[in-house]
Amino acid sequence: MSICKKYFEFSCALMLSISVIACSSTSVPNASGIQTKYINPNKESRSSGVGIESNDVINMADKMVRSILNEPTFAGLSQAPRVLVDETNFTLDGNSRINRKLITTRLRNGLTQAANGRMVFVARYAQRAIEAERELKLAGLVDKGTIRQTQATAGVDFKLVGNILTSDERHANGMTSRYHFINFELVDMELGVTVWADAYEFKKTGVDDVVYR
């Protein structure tokens, strides 16, 4: 009788173990949802890709603002130079898809705040609206404003050019990585030479689950 009881106990334990090991059921992640909340864009996000994230945009824009304002070429000018910072010559030359305006607008915004009159920024992106307003003034449909009148809108002394370059690597162990080199230059729009250049670079790596390799 005792041997039967032992068999029974052993069998029950075995079955229970098999049931626990075999049934790898999973629940729905965040089944009840997650309420909207603010998160700090300066922090690394929990999204898991090898592309550019918000903290990269903020860090690179801040770095470029400091770098441009510390450039002696601009400090030594008798008049504040007119600078055009937009995405028109800022190109994507890699595998990371990003809205270029996000970078150039963040950079222009940071520069405008920090330059404190040492540079002025040409609003070419608003050119159509500016021209329309000038025509209204010229036609006498509105008055001439309170500050000044000019012959023409501002010409550009320096323009931002740059590109986002990437290099992707895939390793035999499934690891993928992407190196970003984000190049920024200010070009003298009269002489055609680069007067300032800097770059922001980073590399991200990760391994996808084997079911995707």
Partner 1 sequence: MDSVKQLPLISIFVASTLAAGCASVTKTQPGILSNLLDEANNSAGKQVSNSPQTHPVYLQPYIAQNKKTGLRDQVLVNMRAGVTALEHGDHHITRRLMEDAYTRIETIYADNKAAKAARSNYVEEANKDFKGEPYERAMVGYYLGIADMLNDNLQSAKTAFSWGEYQDTMSAGEEYQADMTSLMFLRGWAKHCAGETSAAKDDFAAANLTPQQNANLLVLIESGQGPVKYASGKHSEKLKFKAAPQTDNGFIKIKFNEQNFYPDKIEDLVHQATTRNGRSIDAILQGKAEFKDSTKNVADVAAATATASLTYANVSSMYGDHNSAQNASAIGALFALGSLVAGAMSENTIPEADTRQWNNLPRFIHAQTMFADDDYALSDIVVSGEFGEVKIKPQQTGQCYFAWHKVSG
Binding site for partner 1 (CB under 8 A): 1, 3-5, 7-8, 11-12, 14-15, 18-19, 22-31, 47-51, 91-97, 100, 168, 170, 172, 174, 176, 206-213
Q: Which is nearer to partner 1, 37 or 97 (CB)?
A: 97
Q: Which is nearer to partner 1, 170 or 203 (CB)?
A: 170
Q: Is residue 212 within 8 Å of residue 191, measured between CB atoms?
A: no
- Token pair, residue 28, equals 């729905």
What is the closest distance, in whole angstroms, from the C-beta atom of residue 179 to partner 1 in the complex? Answer: 13
Q: Which is nearer to partner 1, 11 or 153 (CB)?
A: 11
> Is the Cα torsion angle 209, 204, 106, 197 positive or negative in sign?
negative
Which residues are registered as beta bridge partners of 198? Answer: 184
> Is the Cα torsion angle 60, 66, 68, 71 positive or negative in sign?
negative
> Is the Cα torsion angle 134, 140, 141, 147 positive or negative in sign?
positive
Q: What is the distance between the terminal CA atoms of the chain, rounded to a whole angstrom?
A: 55
Q: Which is nearer to partner 1, 44 or 168 (CB)?
A: 168
What is the closest distance, in whole angstroms, from the C-beta atom of residue 17 to partner 1 in the complex? Answer: 10
What is the closest distance, in whole angstroms, from the C-beta atom of residue 119 to partner 1 in the complex? Answer: 26
The DSSP bridge pattern shows strands 120-121 and 90-93 to be unpaired
Q: Which is nearer to partner 1, 96 or 121 (CB)?
A: 96
- Token pair, residue 91, equals 């190109």
What is the closest distance, in whole angstroms, from the C-beta atom of residue 43 to partner 1 in the complex? Answer: 18
What is the closest distance, in whole angstroms, from the C-beta atom of residue 84 to partner 1 in the complex? Answer: 18
- Coil/strand/helix, residue 141: coil
